Structure 1
Amino acid sequence: MNDKLDEAKRMIPKAPVPVVTIDDDAALAEFIAGLAGCSWIAVDTEFLRERTYYPKLCLVQIADTDHIGLIDVLALSDLTPLAELLTDPGIRKVFHSAEQDLEVLYHSFGEMPAPIFDTQVAAPLLGLDDQMGYARLVDALLDKKLPKGHTRTDWSKRPLPDGALDYAADDVRYLAVAYQVLRTALDAADRLDWLTGDFERMVEPDRFNVDTSAAWRRVKAWNRLAPAAQQVLAQLTDWREREAMAADRPRRWILADAPLIAIAESQPARDIELADTPDLPSRTLERHGNELLACVERGLARPPEMLDPNAGPPDEATRRRIKTGMRALTRAAEAADIPPAAVASRGDVAAIVAGRRDGRLLRGWRAEVAGRAVVEAVETAQTDAAQT
């Protein structure tokens, strides 16, 4: 794919230069009116979530081929024009590594900013590295080195520190150009349509609707617990997640993982036993002691089963089949000049070994590039093993 990319890079368009900072409703309406007729816009967000459960949107950067707008959402009283722009089905929203941007915009406006294009997802289809950061992508495509800094900026404070708005503007200035280069190259390679399914799945709202009953997966040591303790942990983490959401506070502010694990293991039945839990703040004991004991009771009332029976390490035969599938994946991906990690993960291959045929490796372009080859290799290995 390098020839298609090199050809597209020789036709690099100019980056938009004029920047306007938008901090009142009239300016927002004027800027958005100026985008009328655009088929796409480059979008980035700056937000804060260190002290909240939900990310707090602070700044939205938008660029087209000619203009850059830095929208100070904290200074505006009516964000309706912005919401309508971002959810307009006739305008494609271009992001780089869209996951967090999609989350904050979805929770801010209650609707997904669809349709989208993610340059980080698209780049590997042209032979570039998987999961490239924005600065590396800009350097690779545009031979432009972006200055570092402002990664720890508190975007909720006003006025913003010197240079912060320049940094924010660059996040969409070169994204707008990178998108045009990638799109031209992908179109020339007949791979532009490959991304349609990926981008549609990325904006499914269910991806950002929290399932509190599965919050135990966030606790790293959950699978080291006995089955009964795992059931208690599931009740505790479900309670913590709901509390964090209701208070809009980080879950660790409600209760850290260490005392959750300790309670799941010790399974106290009375206040005096709960009070012996290491690292359990006295204030939490006073405010939520009864709720924590109720979680323990509910967990112990459930069958003492593992939360995820497939979470443990595979047996030797399964490991061999996964290895066979990974080799087939690597060969097929490299033949298509795509990094294997951009096609599928080891977990995707393990799912095929386990007999599942509904994963992403068997959908769309991934099935054509590598999925069928992986299935054939795995099934051949299983047949050979059964015959020996």
Structure 2
Amino acid sequence: MTDAQETAAAISLRTTGGAPPDDDVTGVTPERDPVALLEPREGIPPVVADADALAEVVSAFARGSGPVAVDAERASGYRYGQRAYLVQLRRQGAGTALIDPVACPDLSVLGRALDDTEWVLHAATQDLPCLREIGMLPTSLFDTELAGRLAGFPRVGLGAMVENVLGYVLEKGHSAVDWSTRPLPEPWLRYAALDVELLVDLRDALEKELERQGKLDWARQEFAAIAAAPPPPPRKDPWRRTSGMHKIRRRRQMAVVRELWETRDRIARRRDVSPGKVLGDAAIVEAALALPANARALGALPGFGGRTGRGRLEQWQEAVDRARALPEAELPQPGQTVTGPPPPRAWADKDPVAAARLSAARAAVSRLAEELTMPAENLIAPDTVRRVCWEPPAAVTAESVGAALTAHGARAWQVEQVTPLLVTALHTAAEE
């Protein structure tokens, strides 16, 4: 048995929980125990932190061959925003590079050197925004997390995938550390280097498995859509996403949430710290519910009496007072502008026939997703199903439903798989 055959057979066992099909490879040897991966093959590379070192990396990676593994570390929960504080790359012929994007904030020259190269990322949509900020954006990519989902793996974190597919254990103890720390400790750098050590190997094994399952073209369509997607527009009224917002019932209270959230955001941006370190969401909601008349009353509320809140009590109270003084006409309106269908829980009252369509469509999508061994949300976006079921084509045909799916962003493979299900669901609901 070749190495490729053994890998495919082992993946089949892990994804299906049983033996490979009769026409697959046979005689699979028992899986070996996972091996701890403790050190990068060439050791921990020095961190690139100046123009000369960056030029050497660009030259080496431009001369390398095959796909390039790419990862980025952020300081979520510590710093404001989602900027990258370390970028890791690995490519055959170039080895591993660790780049400090604080010292080298413009990596566009590296991005251009890799312009015609396939980038291998794990959960690409998490890293692409911060990579875009420093001038790095792939024209072609392979997402190992999404590949794992399409292939039917129940656990798709990088550590689980490397262990289940390649038989190695990655140490994941530093995933949530403050990557803005300088200098970065050696154990963190080792962890970062190991994150890209086997990423191309994982990509190659998953490509074989997707091809075996007949899903490789589906995956390529998904990867192409991710690579071509524009940056998302700024979120409207981000203060509405404050945790605990469901407790807020009155418009005056909503205004307090807005004023406190925006004040906190300005402070966090100026200090370059996570907003939660300035003032917690729970404290914002408490102040909105209580509508305190002065700083003393505000300081008695949970979240404002500690060291973090006391130093800025007057500033927080000024925000509350601004909300209290707003004319009625300037108070925020409940909810956000809805551009799509209403929440599904409201469908039964608003449009019982549409609710029946959605119920039938959801059930059909779930059944097919189970047959294809992939999450239903990867088979077709739930929002797309809702939109088609809320406003179906005037004449429900395979052509009209397929066109509607395409208009809502579904890929060709999704249209092919889901259109027959939706046509049936829409007709069935209309006949009941």
Q: TM-score, normalised by structure 1?
A: 0.77
Q: Identify which of 167, 170, 192 aligns with 2:194.
A: 170
C-alpha deviation, 1:54, in angstroms = 2.1
Whichever residue aligns with residue 55 of structure 2, its letter is A
CA separation in 2, counterparts of 1:332 and 1:69?
41
2:274 is equivalent to residue 226 of structure 1: no
Match of 2:119 among 82, 93, 112: 93
Aligned to 1:328: 364
Residue pair 1:141, 1:178 contacting (<8 A) in 2 also: yes
Query: 1:236-257: per-residue Cα shift (whole Å, max 9, x none)?
Result: 4345444433442212233322
When structure 1 is superposed on structure 2, of 197-206 and 328-337 the one drifting more is 197-206
Q: Give the superposition deviation at 1:29.
A: 2.0
State the partner residue of 1:244. Answer: 268
Alignment of 1:241-320 (within 5 A): 241-267=265-291, 278-280=302-304, 281-298=309-326, 300-302=328-330, 305-308=333-336, 310=342, 313-314=345-346, 316=348, 317=352
- State the one-letter code of the partner of 1:380: H
What is the match of residue 396 of structure 2?
none
Deviation at 1:61, TM superposition (A): 1.6
**Residues 1-388 of structure 1: pairs in structure 2 closer than 5 A:** 6=8, 17-19=41-43, 20-25=45-50, 26-37=52-63, 38=65, 40-55=67-82, 57-73=84-100, 77-80=103-106, 82-86=107-111, 88-107=114-133, 109=134, 112-129=137-154, 132-157=156-181, 160-161=184-185, 163-186=187-210, 189=214, 191-192=216-217, 194-201=219-226, 204-207=229-232, 210-211=234-235, 213-217=237-241, 219-226=242-249, 228-229=251-252, 231-232=254-255, 233-234=257-258, 236-267=260-291, 278-280=302-304, 281-298=309-326, 300-302=328-330, 305-308=333-336, 310=342, 313-314=345-346, 316=348, 317=352, 321-344=357-380, 346-355=382-391, 357=404, 362-370=410-418, 372-385=419-432
Distance in 2 between residues matched to 1:159 and 1:251, nearest whole Å? 24
**Counterpart code for 1:364:** A
The structure having more radius of gyration, on CA atoms, is 2
SS of residue in 2 equivalent to 1:151: coil
Alignment partners' CA distance in 1, 2:60 and 2:10: 28
SS at match of 2:69: strand
User: The residue matched to 1:46 in structure 2 has which SS?
Assistant: strand
Q: Which amino acid aligns with 1:86?
A: G
Specify every segment of 5 or more residues in structure 2 that has no aligned partner in the other structure, as ranges. 12-24, 26-39, 393-403
| Aligned-partner SS, 1:59 | strand
Cα offset, 1:56, TM superposition: 5.1
Q: AA paired with 2:413?
A: W
Asked if structure 2 preserves the Cα contact closer than 8 Å seen for 1:138 and 1:144, the reply is yes
Q: CA distance change for structure 1 residues 282 and 338 in 2, over 3 Å: closer, same or farther?
A: closer
RMSD: 3.9
2:14: which partner in 1? none
Q: Which residue identity is paired with 2:246?
A: N
CA distance in 2, matches of 1:55, 1:43: 17
CA gap of 1:305–1:379, structure 2 versus 1, over 3 A, is farther
- Once the two structures are superposed, residues 158-189 of structure 1 have per-residue CA deviations (whole angstroms, 9 ceiling, x without a partner) of 56545443332221111011112233444563
Q: Secondary structure at the match of 2:423?
A: helix
Whole-angstrom distance in 2 between the partners of 1:337 and 1:383: 30
Measured in 1, the distance between the counterparts of 2:269 and 2:416 equals 41
Q: Which amino acid aligns with 2:131?
A: L
Question: Once the 2 structures are TM-superposed, how far is the Cα of residue 231 of structure 1 from its aligned partner?
Answer: 4.3
Structure 2 letter corresponding to 1:43 = V
Alpha-carbon separation, structure 2, partners of 1:62 and 1:173: 9
TM-score by length of 2: 0.70
CA distance in 1, matches of 2:424, 2:123: 32
- C-alpha separation between the residues in 2 aligned to 1:137 and 1:63? 18
Rounded Cα–Cα distance in structure 2 between residues aligned with 1:213 and 1:98: 26
Question: Which is bigger in relative contact order (C-alpha 8 A, separation at least 6)?
Answer: 1
% identical equivalent positions: 23
**Does the CA contact (< 8 Å) of 1:112 and 1:203 recur in 2?**
no
- Letter aligned with residue 243 of structure 2: K
Per the alignment, residue 13 of structure 1 pairs with none
| Matching residue's letter, 2:231 | D
The separation in 1 between residues aligned to 2:375 and 2:269, in whole angstroms, is: 38
**Structure 1 gap ranges (5+):** 11-15
